[in-house]
Amino acid sequence: MNFQEILKYFVYAGMIFTVLAGIAAYLTLMERKVLAWIQQRMGPKYVGFKGILQPLADGIKLVIKEDLLPSWSDRTVYWIAPIAVLVPALLMWVAIPITDGIVLDDSDLGLFYITAISVLTVMGLVMAGWGSANKWAVMGGLRAAGQLVSYEIPFIMSILAIAMLAQSLNLTEIVNQQTTFAFILKQPLAFVIFFIAGLAELGRIPFDIHHAESEVVGGPFVEYSGAHWAVFYLAEYMNTFTVAVLTTILFLGGWVWPQMPFEGSLHDFLSILLFMFKTVAVIYLIFWIRGTYPRLRIDQLMAFGWKLLVPLSFLNVVITSIVLFYGFSHFVLSAVSIFLTGVLFYMISNRSKKYDSGETVRIVSSSQVRDNQNFKEPL
Amino acid sequence: MISIDLILFFIASSLVVGGGFLVVTVKNIVYAAFALLVAMLGTAGIFLLAFADFLALVQILIYGGAVVVVILFALMLTRLEDFKGLTDNSQKPLAVLVSLTVLTIMLYAIVATAMPTSQGDAISMIDLGVSLFQDWAIPFEVASLVLLVALIGAVVLVRQDEEGR
């Protein structure tokens, strides 16, 4: 390996960082806009055309903000923590392909590499919590550790079913296996488990108990401000993008499904566009869920992970291996998987009904008010 | 001419040795856990240089992720003052003696053994899977049985503790 090759890798690393930072910045704008639409607001609209430069304004504001250091804090751990969160977020992109051939290292262990690296994010959160010397931060860090270690199991198990189906851990190979049928059609249960566990890994609503504002104020980030706080959020949005890209690669057929009747460079260009379209759709779904669902309590979160997702993900692996071993048609797999997905959603809705403690807030639609149905007196 | 492999080896091994040294010398036990993580990641680097990619990733996933997090979890739930006596007690001379003996034996073993050089070919995942699940299926299952026993044992211990209250 000569000097030029080493330099080449530095340039690649710089490119990945720049592109991902840009994407993460614009995801914040997208999130604010989507939430605003859900809540019937306008969202940011003054900076640039319809608020298009808002991320830039946010960034400048965060960088020039005073960087506070609590006097009790553990300086070394406190400053290393943001880096420990950001580095795994970037490292994962070594193995992630955007389209056929556009990938830094097309490793045969790509999928396993990503799962292994994603675990390291927890360490940064625990370090941030402990280094801040703040009781809410420590509780937030511990919650993050407990939550991420629990949800790692269904996350890996749903990925394992896909790896068995594709007979490979190489991400490009997994995508190329989905030319006729995307894996979401064969493994809807694995998709649902992967998506829910992915949301929990990201710590997004409804699984954001580690920085739940009403319980632990801001979790591990409570003492951080300015640029260091921005680094945490950069990492969080990068991870959101990564999970969306992984969902696209593993379940939605990446850039090959559905097949397009084009040739040459037009085909290549359109397949990147298709890939990006699917990714943005998944991100939209994540933001939509954030705008729609309330936060789970910590015991509900743990019970949901261990009593529902873990057994179902193990069952999914067993069913997949039986189907593959006896060489049954993949339609059997689809049918069983759809049935189990139905069971999963039934159990979720059933449990949420069991804890229903009667009406505290009455939701009245405007048409009911207008037509005066079931609505005798003004509240 | 120093090759890049050698430089990478020295970086990884200094992480292992430095991390391991910090684990035993640092007074603060949470720092020791962080240093342990550094040592684990350095070991993963050594595995990578020996063309054992799978083992390196397992090292990161199991030790770097799960084990160190569980250790930190336990440490942060306990009060740090309880551990003050651990680093400084009357058994120190005996500990020094034992560790020096072990060090001497290991140094002798390292010097006496002829080190095989790496052949530079990684084992493919398929070969690894076949040897793990076909040739060595029974040892593999026995190992998982041992882990299962440990898990059940932990559950039983905790449950007894709750009932005996």
**DSSP 3-state of A99:** strand
Tell me whether B34 touches chain A (CB under 8 Å): yes
Q: How many domains does chain A have?
A: 2
Averaged confidence pLDDT in chain B: 82
| Residue B65 to residue A122, Cβ atoms within 8 A | yes
A278 occurs within a structural domain: yes
Pull the structure tokens for residue A288: 């939509």
Per-residue model confidence (pLDDT) at position B161: 58
| Residue A169 to residue B125, Cβ atoms within 8 A | yes
Kindly state whether residues A141 and A48 are assigned to the same domain: no
Weakest mean pLDDT among A40-44, A63-67, A142-146, B120-124: B120-124
Give the DSSP letter string of A281-307. Answer: HHHHHHHHHHHHPPPPPHHHHHHIIII
Element (H, E) at A60: helix A54-64
A295 occurs within a structural domain: yes
What's the pLDDT tens digit per position in B7-25?
A: 888 999 999 999 999 988 8
| Residue B77 to residue A169, Cβ atoms within 8 A | no
Per-residue model confidence (pLDDT) at position B81: 60
CB pairs under 8 A between A and B: 62
Per-residue model confidence (pLDDT) at position A241: 92
Nearest residue, CB atoms, A117 vs list B30, B53, B60: B60
Q: Break chain B into its structural domains and give their ranges.
A: 1-84, 123-165
Phi and psi of A223, rounded to 5°? Answer: -90, -10
Nearest residue, CB atoms, A116 vs list B61, B68, B73: B61
Per-residue model confidence (pLDDT) at position B165: 46
Residue B113 pLDDT level (bands cut at 50, 70, 90): confident
If you count them, how many residues does chain B have? 165
Is pLDDT of A375 > 60?
A: no
The topology under which CATH files domain B1-84 is Four Helix Bundle (Hemerythrin (Met), subunit A) (1.20.120)
Q: How far apart are CA B156 and CA B161, in angstroms?
A: 9
Kindly state whether residues A94 and A240 are assigned to the same domain: yes
Residue A354 pLDDT level (bands cut at 50, 70, 90): low
Chain B residue with minimal CA distance to A80?
A: B34
What phi-psi label fits residue A264: left (phi over 0), alpha (psi between -120 and 50 degrees) or beta?
A: left
Kindly state whether residues A96 and A20 are assigned to the same domain: no
Q: Which of A295, A280, A285 is nearest to A203 (CA)?
A: A295
A365 occurs within a structural domain: no
- Report the predicted TM-score, pTM, of the whole model to 2 decimal places: 0.85
The tokens 């430095």 sit on which residue?
B18
Please calculate the CA angle A94-A100-A106 and round it to the nearest 5 degrees. Answer: 35
Which residues does A contribute to its contact with B (CB < 8 Å)? 1, 6, 77, 107-109, 112-113, 115-117, 119-120, 122-123, 126-127, 130, 138, 141-142, 145-146, 148-149, 152, 169
What's the pLDDT tens digit per position in A92-122?
A: 888 888 877 777 777 788 888 888 888 888 8
A378 occurs within a structural domain: no
Mean pLDDT of A58-81: 85
Is pLDDT of A356 > 70?
A: no
Nearest-CA distance from B69 to chain A in Å? 7
Per-residue model confidence (pLDDT) at position A69: 83
- Quote the strand ranges of A130-197, DSSP E: none
Phi and psi of B110, rounded to 5°? Answer: -65, -45
| Residue B60 to residue A120, Cβ atoms within 8 A | yes
| Residues A48-60 as b or e (16 or more Cβ within 10 Å = b) | eeebeebbeebbe
| Residue B69 to residue A123, Cβ atoms within 8 A | yes
What's the pLDDT tens digit per position in A243-298?
A: 999 999 999 888 887 877 777 788 888 888 888 999 999 999 999 998 888 888 88
Kindly state whether residues A105 and A253 are assigned to the same domain: yes
Mean pLDDT of B35-59: 87
Tell me whether B83 touches chain A (CB under 8 Å): no
Q: In chain B, which residues have their Cβ closer than 8 Å to the Cβ of A149? A: 65-66, 69-70
Q: How far apart are CA A253 and CA A274, in angstroms?
A: 10
**Single residue among A64, A80, A95 that ends a domain in this structure:** A64
Domain span holding position A37: 1-64
Tell me the HSE value of B60 on the side-chain side, using a 13 A CA sphere.
Answer: 25
| Top-ranked range on mean pLDDT: pick from A267-281, B111-125, B146-160 | A267-281
Per-residue model confidence (pLDDT) at position A263: 78
Is pLDDT of A59 > 70?
A: yes
Per-residue model confidence (pLDDT) at position A317: 92
Kindly state whether residues A4 and A96 are assigned to the same domain: no
Q: Which of B22, B36, B60 to mutate to test the interface with A (most CBs of A within 10 A)?
A: B60
**Single residue among A34, A64, A94 that ends a domain in this structure:** A64
Per-residue model confidence (pLDDT) at position A127: 85
Q: A99 has which bridge partners?
A: A102
Q: How far apart are CA A145 and CA B72, in angstroms?
A: 9
Is pLDDT of A180 > 90?
A: no
Kindly state whether residues A116 and A29 are assigned to the same domain: no
A143 occurs within a structural domain: yes
The tokens 């950001």 sit on which residue?
A86
Per-residue model confidence (pLDDT) at position B108: 93
Kindly state whether residues A2 and A125 are assigned to the same domain: no
| Residue A109 to residue B57, Cβ atoms within 8 A | yes
A226 occurs within a structural domain: yes
| Residue B61 to residue A122, Cβ atoms within 8 A | no
Q: Which of B1, B76, B134 to mutate to test the interface with A (most CBs of A within 10 A)?
A: B76
Is pLDDT of A325 > 70?
A: yes
Where are the alpha helices (H) located in B4-91, listed in sequence order?
Answer: 4-25, 29-49, 53-58, 68-77
**Single residue among A64, A98, A119 that ends a domain in this structure:** A64
Is pLDDT of A16 > 90?
A: no
| Residue B66 to residue A152, Cβ atoms within 8 A | yes
Nearest residue, CB atoms, B72 vs list A1, A117, A145: A145
Per-residue model confidence (pLDDT) at position A361: 64
What's the pLDDT tens digit per position in B64-102?
A: 877 888 787 777 776 666 555 555 677 888 988 999 999
Considering Cα of B67, then B72, then B73, then B74, what sign does the dihedral take?
positive
